[in-house]
Structure 1
């Protein structure tokens, strides 16, 4: 296992005895405080924002929803091998994973990972050992439980530089609750790292600490809350009306009379007036007892928040690498919508290849090492989200066919063969058409009518 350090010592060694702070405005050291932005973020900040802010939730979920639009599959062999029919071992693994609800559990851990710095899958085996013990012997995987960062605290770290687990925990404390506000009566327990699989998007240093999806855009999310909240409150106050109170008599405000009217001491009249004003603002059907005072309506112009909201949304969308229309489901011009969708699909394909795919391979390899899955060379395969739709493929085939028709009478052979047109749509090759393609007289080479697409 190697040398072990507790979490406090490990963090001190990483940050030189103190946690880092942020200050982006050298001239105004308290700028973030003035704007209402927290200087330090922890899991509870991110979890609360995810639970209560729709834009924050979309920033977490859109990438995961698109990533898991279709499930991957396990392929026997090495990436780059020629395609082959499903092997016996591929089928065996597929059945085992389906029985466990494997892809659903990894999907659930994936979105939890984006809420915080990491998420975990608690792997429950049938070895009969306590969770704080390493896995021994060939085991069967019984279930996988997805956990938030807030449910999984590192206890001890491996500091042996020769260890493959160097820099990562050797044990965790599993808590049934997510945050302190949701604490349950059940006791926390220690779990060995063999029984935990971590997903930490952005942890390119091979540690468990990734980057929360909403960290870069957290200030924007607070601004969005301000705009929405202030806009709603401003509309309410405009509809309800705001008032100022003025004395009507020559002798000023009759404090004694107000005290008698409200049934309070003279020195409590100011507090009572504030209470009356707050009560008036909180409802539409409220009466105002004024005595020798009068209320005058205050008129003010409510600014339109659209341009401020749009700028903030663009900044937040940039922070999560997601076009605004994709983020909020906005319907815009068809061309722009298609371009946004294609760009986002490329982003998600990169996420599949660089982040989630390799992480799944690590999990599968661990299960093979423990004997929970049959062991063989494998890789994780995904379909291509950037592939043309069937309608787009038909359009391409039509253009190819029309190009063939245009070549008739020019003395030049048709640019596309019939099976090339079929392949553009996604159909298998037709051997009869291959014979026609080899016709020295041209024959039906590159068939120009719809027969090339008939099944």
Structure 2
């Protein structure tokens, strides 16, 4: 065999050795990473819900996203211009407050992140069952009796429209609502037991696109959440085992077990069980002394690596999958600049989610209520505080800087900003001509500003 052929044979053998050592890193390798690392290949809603209910990081991501999106509640108004509250707007606001409607809608929004979708069930005063379609609901606003948020696991499609000539082809014809299917109080006397068939007219599907064909926001980072549970669980188990480690009894080669059993007053056959009971009583604190004859008690310690690095990798990966800054997720702040940038980015993310998902779902609810005659037919819109808007402290700081720039330019006779622009920056209305050009306050106005009674005017003496 020539030198070249021997070299090729050696290279081929090395390649086969490397492939055997790292089978998952080479082409055509039959390697299942999910199975090797203990990750589920398919994830059900029950697993998503259990992760949300029992994993602090998963719960924080969902709760903080919903909390930021719903930092304030919207106001349903007529048209796009924000004017004084009309009578219809006031009646709607009061009825929605009575039903706690916005709180229920927020809950549906939260549940849609755990599952692929959630539902908002409408209980109407139309004297019909839940499985019947809706025409017109009498009573106006009082026709809406209750709004019920539902998990994906509670609301499933029981019948699809398979008629290709139908306008609703491929859409659900009937849902099945089972309230106790997702219940933390299973087995208790407080278990929820509502269960019924539900017509699509009586439910709003809350999801990214308004259908049931979506995935949970926890799915991309589910493996990272499992990794966190493994690291945290292994760390806790390791520390517990170290703290509660049973002693290892090492016997001398010259020991006579028969004499030891005789000294303890037991037979040689019962010596092992007696020693185990003695060690157990000593660990539990029943015996202050561990009596050993010709033995040495040693502890078997488990060497634990520092878990912070492994936790940090999984945390960063999950935060990236959920679109939430890490400092916002875990609640730590490492500097004013970093925390401010994270807060601004987080506000923009939640504002984008609100515009692209939350508001379209709310307007679907409004349109449904309008079609049923519960809401009057109007050009409805939402007035909702902007999440990216600066705080009052930031607004006043900017207004102060604008005023300082004007002061520096005053010797030149020029102004960079008008008074109206500075007031608008902090959300104030422009001054009226009377307010803008009024002089110094007189004594009565000064007293009124201080909450004092003005001095009485004495009558002229004739």
Same fold (TM over 0.5): yes
CA contact (8 A) 2:183 2:192 kept: no
What residue ranges of structure 2 are gaps of 5+ in the alignment?
1-23, 438-462
DSSP 3-state at the match of 1:430: coil
What residue number does 1:419 align with?
Answer: 420
RMSD over equivalenced CA pairs, Å: 3.3
DSSP 3-state at the match of 1:149: coil
DSSP 3-state at the match of 1:350: helix
Select 2:229's aligned residue among 225, 228, 236: 225
Q: Which consecutive aligned stretches of 4+ in structure 1 deviate over 6 angstroms post-superposition?
A: 23-26, 251-258, 286-293, 433-436
Q: CA separation in 2, counterparts of 1:365 and 1:222?
A: 41
What residue number does 1:151 align with?
Answer: 154
Deviations 1:323-367 (A, max 9, x none): 111112213211111111110000111111110100010011111
Offset of 1:34 from its aligned partner? Answer: 2.0
Offset of 1:294 from its aligned partner? Answer: 4.8
Q: CA separation in 1, counterparts of 2:403 and 2:332?
A: 36
Q: CA separation in 2, counterparts of 1:96 and 1:326?
A: 35
Q: CA separation in 2, counterparts of 1:289 and 1:133?
A: 79
CA contact (8 A) 1:116 1:148 kept: yes
What residue number does 2:270 align with?
Answer: 260
Deviations 1:268-320 (A, max 9, x none): xxxx97x999x799x76487898886543234532111121112111111111
**Pair 1:435–1:381, CA change in 2 (3 A):** closer
Select 1:191's aligned residue among 190, 195, 198: 198
Q: CA separation in 1, counterparts of 2:357 and 2:192?
A: 36
CA contact (8 A) 1:243 1:298 kept: yes
What residue number does 1:332 align with?
Answer: 334
CA contact (8 A) 1:75 1:379 kept: yes
1:235 aligns with 2:239: yes
What residue ranges of structure 1 are gaps of 5+ in the alignment?
1-22, 265-271, 437-455
Select 1:72's aligned residue among 65, 71, 74: 74
Q: CA separation in 1, counterparts of 2:113 and 2:215?
A: 8
Offset of 1:168 from its aligned partner? Answer: 2.7
Deviations 1:144-183 (A, max 9, x none): 1111111112100123455454433221111121349837
User: What does residue range 169-188 of structure 1 map to in structure 2 within 5 Å?
Assistant: 169-179=172-182, 182=186, 186=193, 188=195
CA contact (8 A) 1:247 1:253 kept: no
CA contact (8 A) 1:214 1:320 kept: yes
User: What does residue range 20-419 of structure 1 map to in structure 2 within 5 Å?
Assistant: 27=29, 29-77=31-79, 81-139=80-138, 140-161=143-164, 163-179=166-182, 182=186, 186=193, 188-201=195-208, 204=209, 206-241=210-245, 243-249=247-253, 259-261=269-271, 285=285, 294-409=296-411, 411-419=412-420
What residue number does 2:457 align with?
Answer: none
CA contact (8 A) 1:200 1:211 kept: no
Greater shift after overlay, 395-404 or 137-146?
137-146
Greater shift after overlay, 50-59 or 90-99?
90-99
CA contact (8 A) 2:177 2:196 kept: yes
**Pair 1:290–1:180, CA change in 2 (3 A):** farther
CA contact (8 A) 1:258 1:291 kept: no
Offset of 1:252 from its aligned partner? Answer: 10
Greater shift after overlay, 92-101 or 175-184?
175-184
**Pair 1:307–1:136, CA change in 2 (3 A):** same
Between the two proteins, the alignment pairs up a number of residues equal to 397
Q: CA separation in 2, counterparts of 1:303 and 1:325?
A: 24
CA contact (8 A) 1:168 1:208 kept: no
What residue number does 1:431 align with?
Answer: 432
CA contact (8 A) 2:255 2:294 kept: no
Q: CA separation in 1, counterparts of 2:281 and 2:166?
A: 67
Q: CA separation in 1, counterparts of 2:267 and 2:152?
A: 60
CA contact (8 A) 1:240 1:284 kept: no
Q: CA separation in 1, counterparts of 2:207 and 2:122?
A: 17
Greater shift after overlay, 317-326 or 416-425?
416-425
Offset of 1:119 from its aligned partner? Answer: 1.3
Offset of 1:240 from its aligned partner? Answer: 3.6
Q: CA separation in 1, counterparts of 2:127 and 2:278?
A: 66
